[in-house]
Amino acid sequence: MKMIKISMLALTLSLMSFSAVAPVKVLISKTITASSIVWKSETIDVGTIPQNTPKPIVFEFKNTGKTAVIITNVQGSCGCTATDYIKTPVAPGKSGTVTATYNAVNPGTFTKTVSVTTNVETAPKVLTIKGTVVTASAGVKS
């Protein structure tokens, strides 16, 4: 009889311990969003350009998202590339530009990058310009 009482007590305590703990549900949510900036071209080949002639390259983009895009920083990969960009927010459905002006001082082929930071992307977008700088004596082919 004493054994039955101890067994019943043990069973009751074990059942109480299960009912006293509320089940815990862990929900993991992962949101994947497509970029809301669509670039007309991420790489522009300017072809052949004459030495000592700055060459502006215009990158165009469209805001395909639902919120305004604000460009917060544009940085060329070297001092030979100056940058400019739209300073006002680009509304959904509207377009904007980033301009990189390459200072064609050194003859030969080149590949330069421009990093664009915005409020809608976590990592900067890297745009590329490339071409060939020729001396005046070599001539320029279009």
Domain residue spans of the chain: 37-134
Query: Whole-model pTM?
Result: 0.71
pLDDT tens digits, 42-86:
999 999 999 999 999 999 999 999 999 999 999 999 989 999 999
Contacts of residue 134, defined as CB under 8 A and 6 or more positions apart, other chains included, come to 48, 49, 50, 51, 107, 140
pLDDT tops 80 at residue 98: yes
CATH number among 2.60.120.10, 1.10.730.10, 3.20.20.370, 2.60.40.10, domain 37-134? 2.60.40.10
